[in-house]
Chain A
Amino acid sequence: MREITFSEALGEAMLEEMQRDPTIFTYGEDIAKQGGIFGAYKPILGKYKDRIIDTPISEEVIFGSALGAALAGMRPVAEFHFSDFLFTGMTAVANQIMKFKYMTGGQGKIHLILRGPDGISKSAAAQHSESIETLFMHIPGIKIIVPSTPYDMKGLFKTALKADDPVICFEHKMLYAKKGPVPEEEYYIPFGKADIKRAGKDVTVVATSRMVHESLKASEELAKEGIDVEVIDLRTLVPWDKETIIESVKKTHRLVVAHETWRRGGWGAEIAATVQEEAFEYLDAPIMRVGAKNVHIPFSPPLQDFVVPDYKSVINEIRKVVNV
């Protein structure tokens, strides 16, 4: 199969769906001329000029207007530029977009997407390194996609572009240039369906986004010692695929959850709690969590490396559960 980058997969999803649906349009800061600050949107440069729009630095309006546009019949895809800047327009997201349908007794189709770069990149420091997907999982009202491969990026994004609910898509900065197989034929990936990225029988690791790759690396290392790790990529956080995880735990009897966002109160805690509520009898060991240390992301490389989890962090937690 041909291999394309994560960015190209995003671009293809956009172009195919824009062609199919003339109500889709996209806007944000620095996208029309540069394709986003990390060039994620490069594949759509110069295409559909009146539907790919640069806006002022006005986050509250970038997000809030998506709601208005959706209610008025369009399908907006608003870019948040850096996930950190979701905070600057958070009232539009949390108080308007996420509540509108519920508060109005189910009125309107809120088909809109918020998307953009997220996650820790090299020394971007605290105000450009946030992985804040958990916040949107905590507050009801938006679906969350967190793809880890070009294949998933394209398939999930195409589904988002057809969905009739608000969707937020977190694209990890370190993944944009990553290549992977993507078929030429059209396909869609449903929300709430996890993907087993590696089958194994000794321990289950549940991860998303960059941490899927770190977990796969950890599993390769541990395979050398005869520890057989199953890596489940959740792909979407709302909804999340409980069944696949529980099925896996029934087989491996051990669970580690791995995310890049802060360990304390991260989404892994929700998964760990749910599994112990519903599948406690299958567990042979406590559930362990991997996450960033509970501080902001520091600038200096040795500090950042210390705070941010990687494959070694995953190995550490796996070691704690395998010998129990």
Chain B
Amino acid sequence: MQYEKEFLIGLYRTMVRIRNFELKAEELFLQGKLPGFIHLYIGEEAIATGAMANLRKDDYITSTHRGHGHMIAKGADVKKMMAELYGKETGYCKGKGGSMHIADVSIGVLGANGEVAGGLPIAVGAGMAIKMQKKDSVVISFFGDGASNRGAFHEALNWASVFKLPIIFLNENNQFASTERVTETTSVKNIGDRAKGYNIVGATVDGNDVIAVYEVVKEAVERARNGDGPTLIEAKTYRIKGHFVGDPELYRERSEVDEKWQFEPISRFESTLLKMGMLTDSEKDSIWKDAEVEVKDAVNFAEESTYPAPESALQDLFESDEGYDY
């Protein structure tokens, strides 16, 4: 591998930060501290991390209901994320959005989305804006295998291809859409093959291999920055946790999950780095320790924050509330 140590450690650190955030979110939810639903990204960290390592601050992403990892990899503030999960005033959405609606427009995160495939058309719009402004920014639109079966997917890819928009459609094929297996609901073996139908470049990659994801997205980002249009990338992974925290998981056997866990991206990358001598045990320990401290601080911040005043529910619908009847 021809990469600098600093770069590789950076990838590892991002994955570890995502993992720690998710483990904490799971724990807090099970303790009854977080309202609403939580969809975990555990086991999928390599995708957000590898992809986002190619992005600049002035690039955009659209995220999904399983979006904490995307946010962290794009540089979101973990404290504000955690506060939002708690529904606190200091959260990203001042308590209005929760896990599924976190956004940080200032760093190009154009929203998680509670609607499956809801982000794809939004990504198309961002791509059009970039083109009209003659910038070389790009958009990565994350979406699941289930989302690729919605009409919005077809419309967005066709449109992006016709207008040669700088978008990477990044499919996270974690094998499940809620209780449904991809094999039962999806007509192709590789979602990446669907690129053919839109006359764009398509690729299917091992989504548990952070370097592989980085490289394939790198090519796509270059194409997009050069004005050569969109790419569809399928990153194959496996959803280790239930669809949401508390999912009874009636649709699969424990043994299947245990088997897949052996291929999880963090320990896999970690052993590669250790073998290459790019990571020492003590560096590893301090990276995990730092990540734990970071989420712990975030939890403290969230717990110390107050809930929003009830009347603030009537703010933020419009720029100005003049003449509006609540």
* CA distance in complex: A55, B185 (Å): 6
Q: Which of B150, B251, B314 contacts A295 (CB 8 A)?
A: B314
In the bound complex, CA of A307 to CA of B177 (Å): 32
| B37 to A, closest residue via Cβ | A124
- Are A127 and B115 touching (Cβ within 8 A)? yes
Binding site secondary structure of chain B: loop
Whether A299 lies near B97 (C-beta < 8 A) is yes
B35 at the interface (CB under 8 A from A): yes
In the complex, whether B117 has a CB less than 8 A from a CB of chain A is yes
Structural contact, A128 and B114, CB atoms closer than 8 A: yes
What distance in Å separates the Cβ of A27 from its nearest Cβ neighbour in chain B?
12
The B93-150 residues at the A interface (CB cut-off 8 A) are 93, 95-98, 100-101, 113-118, 146-147, 149-150
Q: Using an 8 Å CB-CB cutoff, how does the interface string of A197-226 with B read, 1 for contact, 0 for none?
A: 000000000000000000000000000000
- Chain A residues contacting B149 (CB-CB under 8 Å) are 56-58
**Which of B91, B180, B326 is the one whose CB lies under 8 Å from A30?**
B180
Is the C-beta of B30 less than 8 angstroms from some C-beta in chain A? no
Q: Is the CB of A300 within 8 A of B96?
A: yes
Contact with A along B177-188 (1 / 0, CB 8 A): 111100011100
Closest to B244 in A: A37
How near does chain B come to A264, taking the closest CB pair, in angstroms? 6
User: Are A303 and B308 touching (Cβ within 8 A)?
Assistant: yes
Instruction: Answer yes or no: B248 CB below 8 A from chain A CBs.
Output: yes
In Å, the complex CA distance between A124 and B180 comes to 22
The reply on A71 being an interface residue by CB < 8 A is: no
**Cβ-defined contact, A57 with B35, below 8 A:** no
Q: Most A CB atoms within 10 A — which of B93, B100, B118, B179?
A: B179
Contact yes or no, B313 A298, CB < 8 A? yes
Contact present for B178 and A37 (CB under 8 Å): yes
- Our pick among A30, A124, A303 for the contact of B96 (Cβ within 8 Å) is A303
Q: Which of B97, B186, B250 contacts A56 (CB 8 A)?
A: B186
Q: Using a CB-CB cutoff of 8 Å, which residues 15-51 of chain A contact chain B?
A: 29-30, 33-34, 37
Q: What mask results when residues 41 to 73 of chain A are scored 1 for a CB within 8 Å of chain B, else 0?
A: 000000000000011111110000000000000
A125 to B115 CA separation, bound complex (whole angstroms):
12
B325-A299 in contact (CB<8A): no
CB-CB under 8 A from B150, the residues of chain A are: 57-59, 88
CA distance A54 to B147 in the complex (A): 15
User: Does A181 touch B at the CB level, under 8 Å?
Assistant: no
| Chain B hits for A122, CB < 8 A | 35-36
Measured CB to CB, the nearest residue on chain B to A58 is B149
Q: When chains A and B are docked, how far (Å) is the Cα of A88 from the Cα of B113?
A: 13
- Known: A126-B101, A303-B95. Is A295-B326 also a contact (CB below 8 A)? yes
Q: Which chain A residues numbered 96 to 134 have a C-beta less than 8 Å away from chain B?
A: 122-128
How many angstroms from the CA of A314 to the CA of B131 in the assembled complex? 53
**B97 near A125 (CB under 8 angstroms)?**
yes
Q: How far is the CA of A60 from the CA of B151 in the complex (A)?
A: 8
- Cross-chain contact B87 with A123 (CB below 8 angstroms): yes
Q: Which residues of A are found within 8 Å of B312, using beta-carbon distances? A: 303
- Chain B residue at minimal CB-CB distance from A264: B325
- Chain A residues with CB under 8 Å of B178's CB are 29-30, 34, 37
A316 contacts the other chain (CB 8 A): no
- CA distance in complex: A303, B186 (Å): 39
By a CB distance below 8 angstroms, the chain B residues around A300 are 35, 87-88, 91, 95-96, 98, 307-308
Contact of B1 with A by CB under 8 A: no
A187 beta carbon closer than 8 Å to chain B: no
**Chain B residues, Cβ within 8 Å of A306:** 310-311, 313
Most chain A C-beta atoms within 10 Å of own C-beta, residue among B88, B95, B250: B95
Taken together as a complex, chains A and B put the C-alpha atoms of A174 and B325 apart, in Å, by: 28
Report the minimum CB–CB distance from A89 to chain B (whole Å): 9
Whole-angstrom distance between the alpha carbons of A305 and B313 in the complex? 10
Asked if A301 is at the interface of the complex by the 8 Å CB criterion, the answer is: yes
Instruction: Contacts A34-B250, A58-B151, A293-B313 given; indicate if A299 touches B36 (C-beta within 8 A).
Output: yes
**CB–CB A302/B308 < 8 A:** yes
Q: Name the B residues within 8 Å of A34 (CB-CB).
A: 178-179, 248, 250-251
B177-216 with Cβ < 8 A to chain A? 177-180, 184-186
29 A–B contacts from the bound complex (CB under 8 Å): A30-B178, A30-B179, A30-B180, A34-B178, A37-B178, A54-B180, A56-B149, A56-B185, A84-B114, A85-B115, A88-B115, A122-B35, A125-B98, A126-B101, A127-B118, A128-B37, A264-B325, A293-B313, A295-B314, A299-B93, A299-B98, A300-B96, A300-B98, A301-B87, A302-B307, A302-B310, A303-B96, A305-B310, A306-B313
Which A residues lie at the B interface, using CB under 8 A?
Answer: 29-30, 33-34, 37, 54-60, 84-85, 88, 122-128, 264, 293-296, 298-307
